[in-house]
Chains A and B, each alone.
Chain A
């Protein structure tokens, strides 16, 4: 089983739609959580960190469920510019370990 799993998509949605991505992680010792966005052949860029209480940034809302080891990202009122791959990232720390593990990404295509 992969340490971080995501539905690869693609998710094809019309402009203005609401879309949700899910991510599960297997290591219960995971301590930090992020969503990154990656455009084709570019480096990933941080979209938002995910906090235990859930957090929102404009049209984007992230949720964390530690009991179920599950993270979600909700995008409201999708724009054409939201088309990209969304990567779920989990941080594992302890002793000599300090690494961030990426999911395989979910591809979003917003259609006009």
Chain B
């Protein structure tokens, strides 16, 4: 079955540590996105990529980094510069055409120890 896989489902970070969240899709989608969701809040865009080896900052990119070396993969690194990383992280992908819907992974809950 085609879809998006995020891992791990739960992740714990120590102070000063970088952690990487995985996102893989086999839908042959060009565009991929990372969102952050805090309790009772909507989704805020961290980074997105429209094509391999290219990505753009979203609204809250500080303290995060991404790479897009393969079409299927868009990992997100939460660096030690992100002082408030506890949140629910959602990866999504879609075809690049107008009106195409987003397909979401099941999310990663990141917490600070």
A interface, CB within 8 angstroms of B:
4, 6, 8, 31-32, 34, 36, 41-46, 49, 87, 89, 91, 93, 96-105
Q: Is B105 an interface residue (CB 8 A)?
A: yes
Q: Is B8 an interface residue (CB 8 A)?
A: no
Q: Is B113 an interface residue (CB 8 A)?
A: no
Interface size on B, residues (CB 8 A): 25
User: A41–B42 contact, CB under 8 A?
Assistant: no
Chain B residues, CB < 8 A from A101:
45
B interface, CB within 8 angstroms of A:
31, 33, 35, 40-45, 48, 50, 56, 58, 88, 90, 96, 98-99, 101-102, 104-107, 109
User: B43–A42 contact, CB under 8 A?
Assistant: no
User: A41–B88 contact, CB under 8 A?
Assistant: yes
Q: Name B104's contact: one of A32, A43, A103 (CB within 8 Å).
A: A43
Chain B residues, CB < 8 A from A43:
90, 104-107
